[in-house]
Structure 1
Amino acid sequence: MESLLVSTGIVALAEIGDKTQLLAFILAAKFRRPLPICLGILAATIANHAFAGAVGAWLTRMITPETLRWILGISFLAMAAWTLIPDKFDEKDAKFARFGVFGTTLLAFFLAEMGDKTQVATVALAARYHAFYTVVAGTTLGMMIANVPAVLLGDRVAERMPVALVHRIAAGIFAVLGVATLMGVGEAFGF
């Protein structure tokens, strides 16, 4: 249960102000069809995060626990720093209009998530918790929590969201996970 809750919370917070959330705002303004946009985000996120979770699970089998602990701890600390850097959105991320609303959203989100902090976080969380399904479910839920309101409420949400504060909170959570992992917290409990 911890892996689901941590994965959901950390990705939901990290996604605020992220380029994919900005993409959600743009797609909502362009197409004004929330259901296919939300379904496209869901499908892209499941595909992307399932791949990332599989990489995380694979890492746990390929690397010794001690080495993995150091890699994950440092990765979480790097994610904390990365979360504090504001994302910029490139209009070319939304260029697939010929594929319809769902197809455009699916392709744009999938490509925008490649190498993004939430994908990297999914790899690290899956490796940390050894819980592929709950981590992927949690990170996907976190993406939906952050992006569905962006699609449905658009600018009304963006204007009121304290993005810098949310990023600092997410960075703090990543930092705590990093330090706890480096210190070996949780190893006695099998995670």
Structure 2
Amino acid sequence: MFESFFVSTAIVAIAEIGDKTQLLAFILAARYRKALPIIAGIFIATVANHLLAVSVGHHVAKLFSQQVLLWILAVSFLLVAAWTLIPDKMDDEEGFLSQYGPFIASLVAFFIAEMADKTQVATVMLAAQFPYFWAVVMGTTLGMLITNVPVVLVGHFAAERLPLKLIRSIAALGFLALAIYSAAQTLNLPL
């Protein structure tokens, strides 16, 4: 259970750095300058989104044999590793953000931005790999908060100083390691 929690936290925290939802946190922080409602919106949106993702992951895990599931996971982790190397760009959200306060704007924008995002895909895959539903939900949610709360608190100051290319490369290596691990399990190779 602890492995499910810690691996989920680490994978999502690393994958989230430089992600479009992190860019969204920058935009929200600059626009509203009210950290607590933004953080509350991010938290609730993430819990809702990751509950959905973990539910899908657990359902998918039941549809396939362990062997097939491990191959699906290996290929999926490999694809997410490649996807992680591509920098995210934020679409212009100014029209939407100007209509609502910081809590509602954060809640809705984060929930929508996370749909089919690499961290949501990673959450589905983690849920398919680990049987502990709540450990994965709590771990992936904590991973999102670890990377987004500081962004809200310090704004653009940190964005210009983070080596995002290096961080994306490390995240891609993490997903590549998970792909190799899943493939090795399928082939019954010792690791």
The normalised TM-score by structure 1 is 0.94
Is residue 2:90 matched to residue 1:80? no
Q: Does 1:169 align with 2:170?
A: yes
Q: Confirm or deny: 8 A CA contact 1:60 1:130 kept in the other structure.
A: no
Match of residue 9 from structure 1? 10
Aligned to 1:104: 105
User: How many residue pairs were aligned?
Assistant: 187
Change (3 A) 1:27 1:17: same
Over the aligned positions, Cα root-mean-square deviation in angstroms equals 1.5
User: CA offsets per residue over residues 40-81 of structure 1, 9 Å max, x none?
Assistant: 000000000110000001111111111111101100111110
Q: Give the AA of the match of 2:141.
A: T
CA distance in 1, matches of 2:98, 2:156: 22
Q: Give, in whole Å, the separation in 2 of the partners of 1:54 and 1:21.
A: 24
In structure 1, the residue corresponding to 2:99 is in which secondary structure?
helix
Q: CA, structure 1 residues 101+170, in 2 after alignment: closer, same or farther (shift >3 Å)?
A: same
Q: Distance in 2 between matches of 1:182 and 1:73?
A: 6
Q: Any idea what SS the aligned residue of 2:160 has?
A: helix
Check the 8 A contact 1:93/1:108 in 2, yes or no. no
Does the 8 A contact of 1:28 with 1:34 survive in 2? yes
1:97 CA drift (Å):
3.6
TM-score of the superposed pair, with normalisation by structure 2: 0.94
Task: State the partner residue of 2:49.
Answer: 48
CA contact (8 A) 1:93 1:112 kept: no
Structure 1 outlier segments of 4+, above 4 Å = none
Structure 1 unpaired stretches of 5+: none
SS at match of 1:98: coil
Query: Structure 2 stretches of 5 or more lacking a match?
Result: none
